[in-house]
Structure 1
Amino acid sequence: MIQKTLKQLAEIIKIDNDISKFQQTMISGICIDSRKLEKGNLFVPLKGENVDGHKFVEAAIKNGAAAALWQKDMPNPPLHLPLLIVEDTLLAIQQLARSYRKQLNIKVIGITGSNGKTTTKDMTAHLLSLKYKVQKTEGNYNNHLGLPLTILQLREDTEFAVLEMGMNHPGEIDFLTKLALPDAVVITNIGESHLENLGSRAGIAAAKLEIMNGLQDNGLVVYYGDELLLKEYFDQYYGNAVVKTFGREKSNDLFPNDMEQGEKGNYFSINKQEGNFYLPVLGIHNVLNALAAMQVAHHFHIPFAIMNEGFAHLKLTGMRMELVKGAKGEKIINDAYNASPTSMKAAFELIESMKGYKRKIVVLGDILELGTETEAYHEAIGNLLDPDQIDYVFTYGKLGEKIADGAKKSFPANRLFSFLEKEVLITELKARTTGDEIILVKASRAMKLEQVVDALTK
């Protein structure tokens, strides 16, 4: 993690106060939450909608922070403490991260995409760790604040950093990639998320392709070759990057020969290596995420032959195809972290393929940021539900009602339920579970459907 004296920090970021009294004070690491403070940290207060971190500066230093930043427009800075007064504390974090990244002798892998980027990040980190010291984005720290904080926590002996890059608007990936300066980039796919801000799938593709703007000379590009919007771009690409594709089609550099869904994961084989691989993650679509990770790892001299070793110890970030056991013995697929029409379809294919259950139930909620066609997308999702494969459909939220409207065309009323109150949904769902079910729970993050999962486990 970053370790600097206040004098060295002042050479990186512009400060507006005299620090001569404290210039040899050493900081180790950055903290923005006083509850997670570690001794020696630089505490960085941020102005949020509900909480202003400046209120905690004095307590943070008292509790072990070596120093703190202070935003210039905030009154009454405690100048008797080791303080750096800056124009903007968020901007200061970004400037420090940019400087620290250039200081590190490290390979950076940047990962973006509409779906699967967190899972691909986790897989890539596990495969690279077979040979190297690896750190990765923790949780969903993938934006203009999270990515700089991740960089500032990198250890100097780390050899690879696997960094997730998310966005809602044009220009955001451009900022992140120019800060991270990746040696390899992955684009997992192009879906429908953020249509509200980007207008079309072509607009989403253009925003994801901004990741190329920070790629280092002779770097690696791995992209989903079955996506025409990406293929069209790279067919016209004349840069010096090494370009590799993955996907289902045999025209890709890496593709699966066979894929089989197991009880808790997937078996598959590839065109580049004899033998089978086992991925302990549900969903055939996750085999494609694994292929992307395998392409990166192989480029950096990890043999395909040993990659099962990396998959065997794979642990994914929570609420992504997470198999949970309910209180009655029912199995729950907790995929409540996020959703899009594309990932909904993949989740339906998964639950339909799972054998050995007397009943199959889906609990679905609103998908956000889909733009002007939001209601049509939700109805289309309802149309995808097959009453011969799914026994009960539960929806939650205003847009969830549109999913139910789409499902009404094929589902009888006694198998289709729509709710605006989560507690009522939970009560009705519990009344219909006996322990022999597999239940899929999926929606956009803001719907907090993990609360349904939690209720079923109690």
Structure 2
Amino acid sequence: MKKTLKQLATWLNEEVPAFGDTVVSGISIDTRTIQQGDLFVPFRGEKANGHKFVLQAIEKGAGASLWQKDEPNPPQGVPLLFVDDPEVALQQMARAYRSEHKAKFIGITGSNGKTSTKDILAGTLTPFFKVQKTIGNFNNELGLPITVLQLDEDTDVAVLEMGMSGFGEIEFLTKLARPHMTVITNIGEAHMQDLGSRAGIAKAKFEIIQGIQPDGVLFYDGDEPLLQELVAKEQQLKAVAFGLENGNLLYADNIEATADGSSFSTHGVIEGDFFISVLGKHQVKNTLVAMLISQQLGLNDDQIRASLKQVALTDMRMQQVNGSNGALFINDAYNAAPTSVKAAIQFVASTTIRPEKWLVLGDMLELGPNEKRFHEDLSKDIHAEEIDFVCLFGPRMAYLNEVLKERFDEDHLLYAEDDYTPIIEKLQQANEESIVLLKGSRGMKLETILRAFTK
């Protein structure tokens, strides 16, 4: 975005301010990340008031700032645009800029795999288009407008992640972004405590179609019956199913893990053999939607095949790290829910990359009143014939520990409630023959364990 304050005032139906010809070329809500020429957006909350940092933002290079009209003592002699509510103004500016922008907008939601799918799609398209994507976790009612306003005017494709914790949130985001293509990666159990059931989660995720362009397309997990039911009710919706089951418009099989990534075959609207430098059957499934959207945007199979080989994911998503003890760590510790944990466990159990298999699992959070059952149910995928060592961390993992005691002796099963040290000491036994999965919710910070082996 590159606009004058006068143009922003027009978007917001506000009076043209002094310094109306001042140009801003980005957006920021944090003085620690201010870039030259940014528009600073101060929020007034219970614990902090961003208006106190406006002068600091200007000193650090911000071109101008919003200012809430009922906030006293606005600074003199600096470019300010007065608004009723900075948060609402931020969202209104994003809607206006979105309306002007010529890029193809792609919205991605789902219980798991949003960020991985975003990364795979952006990586596949980047050799052929100017692509910008959601950075970090800027996927909510503040983050998505900031992402939109940070788009360069010549961006060809905007890949936008859409997160939520309750009903109505995806609807708000998709109506702001008005995507040409939308994706639902899967339906898991995250936010069960807020949405009540997997059916509730599916309904909340399906809100993404409410902002889709009239000729837009929904790409969805065709292996998920809850989504199949919702799609069937939308007779006018153009929907494309992908997955691992025969019957989807695009499906994958012959999935094999190597030290470098995953090879697989596809059938349906794209036929052939492909490779991606990412591990896990669930990541192959995420790759399918990237292939479909790439095809929709005009790439041929050879272009898609070449691009996929160069794709890299954001850290802590099935990230391979060589430890100082010789072990290969799979750092998948960014977040966790039952569906994604089971997928990661199944990968480790089936892989032939290293013969000795370790699981380091942390609590899964935000699962509501059924959290005990969800943790115990992980045991269905953990068998002593396939997994050599299991280390569990966090108070909720005590539920799983009780079940696994019947399968693993004390030399092969370790539980720690709140101290990483026993697990770090146990992992000293891992070596060049070992593959070690780190998987837990963000609040468990299992990467702390990895740091002991990457100093």
Query: TM (normalized to structure 2)?
Result: 0.95
1:116 is the counterpart of 2:109: no
Specify which of 53, 64, 69 is matched with residue 66 of structure 2: 69
Q: Contact 2:325 / 2:428 at 8 angstroms: preserved in 1?
A: no
Q: Contact 2:97 / 2:148 at 8 angstroms: preserved in 1?
A: yes
Q: Partner residue of 2:30?
A: 33
SS state at 2:218 partner:
strand
Structure 1 Cα separation of the partners of residues 182 and 63 of structure 2: 36
1:266 is the counterpart of 2:262: yes
Deviations for 1:7-39, whole angstroms, at most 9, x for unmatched residues? 221222255xx7643222111111122122122
Deviation at 1:124, TM superposition (A): 1.4
Structure 2 Cα separation of the partners of residues 406 and 45 of structure 1: 50
CA change 1:356–1:95 in 2 (3 A) is closer
Structure 2 Cα separation of the partners of residues 49 and 327 of structure 1: 45
Specify which of 242, 245, 258 is matched with residue 246 of structure 1: 242
Structure 2 Cα separation of the partners of residues 455 and 131 of structure 1: 40
- Of stretches 163-172 and 347-356 in structure 1, the one that deviates more from structure 2 is 347-356
Q: Partner residue of 1:349?
A: 346
Structure 2 Cα separation of the partners of residues 420 and 47 of structure 1: 38
Runs of 4+ in 1 over 6 A off after TM superposition: none
Alignment of 1:284-323 (within 5 A): 284-323=281-320
- Of stretches 169-178 and 269-278 in structure 1, the one that deviates more from structure 2 is 269-278
Deviations for 1:68-89, whole angstroms, at most 9, x for unmatched residues? 1123454432133211232222
CA change 1:174–1:20 in 2 (3 A) is closer
Residue type of the partner of 2:378? I
1:437 is the counterpart of 2:434: yes
Structure 1 Cα separation of the partners of residues 31 and 285 of structure 2: 40
Deviations for 1:318-368, whole angstroms, at most 9, x for unmatched residues? 100000011122110000001111111111111112225353211111111
SS state at 1:190 partner:
coil
Q: Partner residue of 2:410?
A: 413
Specify which of 243, 248, 255 is matched with residue 251 of structure 2: 255
Deviation at 1:167, TM superposition (A): 0.6
Structure 1 Cα separation of the partners of residues 254 and 206 of structure 2: 30
Q: Contact 2:108 / 2:182 at 8 angstroms: preserved in 1?
A: yes
1:326 is the counterpart of 2:323: yes
Structure 2 Cα separation of the partners of residues 198 and 188 of structure 1: 18
Residue type of the partner of 1:159? D
Q: Partner residue of 2:198?
A: 201
Identity within the alignment, %: 46
1:11 is the counterpart of 2:10: yes
SS state at 1:441 partner:
strand
Deviation at 1:437, TM superposition (A): 1.6
Structure 2 Cα separation of the partners of residues 119 and 228 of structure 1: 23
Q: Partner residue of 1:226?
A: 223
Structure 2 Cα separation of the partners of residues 331 and 48 of structure 1: 44
Deviations for 1:191-226, whole angstroms, at most 9, x for unmatched residues? 111110000111001001000000001111111111
Structure 2 Cα separation of the partners of residues 184 and 242 of structure 1: 10
Aligned residue pairs: how many?
Answer: 454
- Of stretches 47-56 and 392-401 in structure 1, the one that deviates more from structure 2 is 47-56
1:183 is the counterpart of 2:180: yes
Structure 2 Cα separation of the partners of residues 445 and 46 of structure 1: 26
- Of stretches 43-52 and 197-206 in structure 1, the one that deviates more from structure 2 is 43-52
CA change 1:56–1:426 in 2 (3 A) is farther
Structure 1 Cα separation of the partners of residues 264 and 190 of structure 2: 28
Query: TM (normalized to structure 1)?
Result: 0.95
Residue type of the partner of 2:243? G
CA change 1:20–1:291 in 2 (3 A) is closer
Q: Partner residue of 1:125?
A: 122
Deviation at 1:378, TM superposition (A): 0.5
- Of stretches 247-256 and 429-438 in structure 1, the one that deviates more from structure 2 is 429-438
Alignment of 1:156-195 (within 5 A): 156-195=153-192
CA change 1:213–1:275 in 2 (3 A) is closer
CA change 1:225–1:274 in 2 (3 A) is closer
CA change 1:49–1:308 in 2 (3 A) is farther
Q: Partner residue of 2:142?
A: 145
1:280 is the counterpart of 2:302: no
Structure 2 Cα separation of the partners of residues 35 and 226 of structure 1: 43
Structure 1 Cα separation of the partners of residues 302 and 262 of structure 2: 17
Structure 1 Cα separation of the partners of residues 8 and 231 of structure 2: 41
Stretches of structure 1 lacking an aligned partner (at least 5 in a row)? none
Deviations for 1:131-173, whole angstroms, at most 9, x for unmatched residues? 3221111122111111111100111111111111111000000
Deviations for 1:388-445, whole angstroms, at most 9, x for unmatched residues? 1212211111112122123223122232111123332344334433443211001111
1:88 is the counterpart of 2:56: no
> C-alpha root-mean-square deviation of aligned residues, in Å?
1.8
Q: Contact 1:225 / 1:247 at 8 angstroms: preserved in 2?
A: yes
